[in-house]
Amino acid sequence: MSPKQDRYVLHLAWYDEEQWQLLCALVPNRGELDDTYEQWQQSARQAVREIESSGRKVERVSVDVLAMSEWCNERNVPLTGSARAEYVAQLANEPRSGGA
């Protein structure tokens, strides 16, 4: 693995079941998502295993679907896969607060 690849982190949107249900209700093309939360979870975990087995690190990014939907509305873009990916990338690059 190259040093550059070692530093590469893939940020993956991660939803709890409530957020998943909300996402399903808001996306313009429901067919682009798995049929159930359990199917999505299984697919996502498999994707994590495959990515990690290639030597890359995966960071799960918890997504607030209403906040993501508002972000899309502010930019006048539909809640598509590419918009979700862009949103997650932005979230992953935001400084994290240190608490207290």
Tell me the pLDDT tens digit for each residue of 78-89.
999 999 999 999
Three-class secondary structure of residue 96 per DSSP:
coil
Confidence of residue 9 (pLDDT cuts 50, 70, 90): confident
Q: How many domains does the chain have?
A: 1
pLDDT for res 98 = 45
Mean pLDDT computed over 32-61: 95
Question: Are the C-beta atoms of residues 66 and 21 closer than 8 Å to each other?
Answer: no
**Does residue 100 lie within any of the structural domains?**
no
Can you give the pLDDT at residue 95? 74
Whether residue 50 is contained in a domain is answered as: yes
pTM of the model: 0.82
> Rounded CA gap, 39 and 17, in Å?
11
26: how many CB neighbours lie within 10 A of its CB?
15
Token pair of 76, please?
Answer: 């006048």
Q: Is residue 63 part of a domain?
A: yes
CA 22/CA 37 separation, integer angstroms = 11
Domain that holds residue 27: 3-93
pLDDT band of 2, cuts 50, 70, 90: very low
